[in-house]
Structure 1
Amino acid sequence: MNGVALTGRLLVATPMLRDPNFVRTVILVLDHDGDGTLGVVVNRPTEMPVTSVLAPWNEFVSAPDVLFEGGPVATDSALALAEVPKGAEPLGWRRLYGRLGLVDLDAPPELLTGLHGMRVFAGYSGWSPGQLESEITDGGWYVVDAEPDDPFSTDPSSLWRRVLRRQRDELALVATFPDDPAMN
């Protein structure tokens, strides 16, 4: 994976990855460079409504309108992703890649107009330089292309299977892997 750009791609946990922080997760890579990798888990909604922690932003949040577990790092802080129309650069939004960017949650919500989707994450997932590449080489992650709706899926609990199922190779078969192989 050395030299391969991961920003904007998905990391899909392989069935062999048993770390409870990442079992059956789908992570959107937000930044990958010589300093390491930053991403958010896009398929772990919590029961906590966004209104309970960031009420002014609730009207912008995509369904389900709950806080998501972004990862095991800095879980006491919030990070928000939003997609904007092509060519838009609203105040309070910073482009990551394409039409996806970070929302400044300290900015007044009324500055952000025309959002197509927004999701709020508690924490994030992070790797030091070379760490993620090592985990990929060791068989912990599949790296696949993201589709525009993946970060804002209305059915995040089925995202792991759906992302794998749409692959055009043997990865599509992994979608049928049982939750507990002992029960097979």
Structure 2
Amino acid sequence: MEQPILTGRLLVATPVLDDPNFRRSVVFVIDDNESDGTLGVIVNRPLEVPVNEVLQGWGGYADAPEVMFSGGPVGAGAGVALGMPRHEETPLGWSPLESAEARDRVPGLGMVDLDTPPEILGDALDRFRGFAGYTGWSVGQLSAEIEEGAWYTLPATSDDVFSNEPGSLWPRVLRRQGGDLALVSTFPDDPTLN
């Protein structure tokens, strides 16, 4: 069975995923294709580092909390940024997500080219979030993890990506799904204490 393209969706860690890099993480999938694999950023892991300390000049444009986020264990020295323009025209230094399906899923969300001077692009953005590192899976790797029960694939909203309360994002995303997933949202952090 062919896996659907996940660009523009969320990967939400199931309670059985205990890898410390991904435990209770919510990953926004930036790109997913059959030739390169899957790339995403963890959207619920704020760091205690102000955006301006890492991405000079971008601090004033960042959504609250105005800190860098740990996007994942790959390329921790690399910066990735997501943003949404204020207006419909495409500003210089911003590009929409690759697939049309993803653009329909989360309208207006795209990549920010951090080489663009913030004074040129910053005011054209309505929302901005910076990530240190990213997540990545080779072709077929993520599909196998999903089949093993490590991830839920769920719809994303821009409010998930730019949440001002990232610490509670994991249970909130699960709760809004209703049914069994709403019940999973109450799963204790440490089931041995239950």
TM-score range, shorter chain: over 0.9
Equivalent residue letter for 1:180: D
TM-score (norm 2): 0.91
Moved more, 48-57 or 68-77: 48-57
Question: Secondary structure of 1:119's match?
Answer: strand
Aligned to 1:20: 20
Aligned to 1:38: 39
Aligned to 2:53: 52
TM-aligned CA deviation for residue 50 of structure 1? 0.9
How is 1:62-73 mapped onto 2 (pairs within 5 angstroms)? Answer: 62-73=63-74
Question: Secondary structure of 1:87's match?
Answer: coil
Question: Secondary structure of 1:56's match?
Answer: coil
Equivalent residue letter for 1:108: P
Aligned to 2:100: none
2: CA distance, partners of 1:88 / 1:151: 21
How is 1:92-111 mapped onto 2 (pairs within 5 angstroms)? Answer: 92-96=93-97, 97=103, 98-111=107-120
Equivalent residue letter for 2:84: E
Question: Secondary structure of 1:116's match?
Answer: strand
Whether the 8 Å contact between 1:13 and 1:141 is mirrored in structure 2 is yes
Deviations 1:69-118 (A, max 9, x none): 00000001111100124522000111113311111111111221331211
Stretches of 4+ aligned residues off by more than 2 angstroms: 85-88
Whether the 8 Å contact between 1:2 and 1:133 is mirrored in structure 2 is no
Equivalent residue letter for 2:6: L
TM-score (norm 1): 0.96
State, as a whole percentage, how many aligned pairs show the same letter: 57
* Number of aligned residues: 184
2: CA distance, partners of 1:133 / 1:66: 32
2: CA distance, partners of 1:143 / 1:3: 11
Q: Aligned pair 1:114/2:124, yes or no?
A: yes
How is 1:164-179 mapped onto 2 (pairs within 5 angstroms)? Answer: 164-179=174-189
Whether the 8 Å contact between 1:86 and 1:99 is mirrored in structure 2 is no
Aligned to 1:137: 147
Structure 2 stretches of 5 or more lacking a match?
A: 98-102
Question: Secondary structure of 2:143's match?
Answer: helix
Question: Secondary structure of 2:128's match?
Answer: strand
Structure (1 or 2) with the greater helix fraction: 2
Deviations 1:118-148 (A, max 9, x none): 1000000000001001000000000110122
Question: Secondary structure of 2:77's match?
Answer: strand
1: CA distance, partners of 2:87 / 2:3: 28
Deviations 1:11-40 (A, max 9, x none): 000000010000000000011111200000
Question: Secondary structure of 1:71's match?
Answer: coil
Question: Secondary structure of 1:163's match?
Answer: helix
Equivalent residue letter for 1:28: F
Question: Secondary structure of 1:117's match?
Answer: strand
Whether the 8 Å contact between 1:9 and 1:144 is mirrored in structure 2 is yes
1: CA distance, partners of 2:4 / 2:87: 26
